[in-house]
Structure formats: C-alpha cells, structure tokens
Chain A
C-alpha cells in the first residue's frame, strides 16, 4: 500500500534561490492538491490539478510559484527567487473524483529560507 510521497522532506536554501518539490500521489487518484502550512496554522490551499490540468490557483500562489503535473501523474511545485516568507511546510494531497472524496496527505516538504 503506497500513500502519497513527497521529496525532499526537508530543504534549506538561501534567499533568492529556486527550489523544486515533487509529489507522487496515490496511483489511481486523479486529483492532486498543494497546500502550505505555516507554524501554528492549518494548511492553506495553493492549487489543484485534475489529471494534468491545473484547474485552480489560490491568491496565495504568487507569480514566483509554478506547479505542473505532466501526464497526470506526479506533480512538481517550483518556487523562484525564494523569500524568507516562503518558509513553511508544503503539503501535497490526492483524491479520487468518484463518489465521496477524501484527500490523503503526504508527509510534506519543510522549506527553510535563510
């Protein structure tokens, strides 16, 4: 039984650098979500894919952020020119768009921007 996986689990970078995170959803899940979680807060929605189509982006997703899901399988989230305010846990979730929909989360990637 493979759940949602994310890589890397931790990333430390210097301000101004670009970073890329990867998410591998549960294999039969066609929906994939990215969330961001800062300390002491609940996750906040960033963006959503159904198969390979990016259907929605939150206002939190500035133009420095880009996400892709080629071939509707894994997804990547890239942050360009990182800022200290980007430091957070980035969570990926996947779900099946049939019937009751429950999002299952990966372990997250914790980003620290120095």
Chain B
C-alpha cells in the first residue's frame, strides 16, 4: 500500500529564512505522481506542483523549489526567503494509477505546519 510521511509536524522560521519541508513516500508502482498542496488558514487546498515518476529534474518556481530523488523516495520542498504569507500547512501527496478504475488515488501525508514570523 502507498504511504506518505511528513516527519516535520511544525516548523517555525523568521521571515527571509530558507526552509525545507521533507516528504518521503512508499509505493510499489513504477508509475506515479507526486504533489505538494498548500492549505492556508482559510482551509482550501491549493495545488503547488505535480511531478511524475519519470522526471527527476528539480524544479524552481520563483521562491519555491522541489527536489525529487527516486533513489531515496523523497520529494522535498524548499521555500527561499520565506514570507509571512507562506504560513500554512503543506501537504505532500502521492497518486497512483489504478488499473481497474483508472483512478489516480491521492494519498496525503499528515502535513507540516509552517509558521513564518515577521
């Protein structure tokens, strides 16, 4: 069965610090997708990034960057020069393709709460 582990329950940083959120996953599938979602206090899950299992290139989007390492089953997320608006709960999720229904189930980690202090 698939599993996503986010060992960091809560992280507190001061504005402008860099912060890395860890994500480790388990799956038997060779084809899968990994995601990061942000959940601000309002509650809505906001999609940040999708990465497929075939593409191990790191990605950078503004202050956000993602490091996917298949060898260690990790998909870590770094925020550079953090801002107060980055304060939220961040979820890592794994999506597998189910052959019977075609469903790509999302299995979420338990989330990391990031607090950025001014």
Please tell me the number of chain A residues within 8 Å of chain B, measured between CB atoms: 28
Residues of A within 8 A of B106 (CB): 33, 35, 43, 45, 93, 103
Beta-carbon contact of B45 and A43 below 8 Å:
yes
Contact of B110 among A40, A48, A101, A107 (CB under 8 A): A40
Any A CB within 8 A of the CB of B91: yes
Please tell me the number of chain B residues within 8 Å of chain A, measured between CB atoms: 27
Please judge, given known A-B contacts A42-B110, A105-B44, whether A55 and B101 are in contact too, CB under 8 Å.
Answer: yes
Residues of B within 8 A of A50 (CB): 101-103
Beta-carbon contact of A100 and B110 below 8 Å:
no
How many A-B contacts are there with CB distance less than 8 Å? Answer: 64
Could you give, for residues 12-25 of chain B, a 1 whenever the CB lies within 8 Å of some chain A CB and a 0 otherwise?
00000000000000
Contact of A43 among B50, B52, B108 (CB under 8 A): B108
Residues of B within 8 A of A105 (CB): 37, 44-47
Interface residues of B in 72-105 (CB under 8 A from A): 91, 93, 95, 98, 101-105
Please judge, given known A-B contacts A43-B45, A107-B43, A110-B43, whether A55 and B103 are in contact too, CB under 8 Å.
Answer: yes
Contact of A45 among B44, B50, B105 (CB under 8 A): B105
List the interface of chain B (C-beta within 8 A of A): 4, 33, 35, 37, 42-47, 50, 52, 91, 93, 95, 98, 101-111
List the interface of chain A (C-beta within 8 A of B): 31, 33, 35, 40-45, 48, 50, 55-56, 89, 91, 93, 95, 97, 100-108, 110
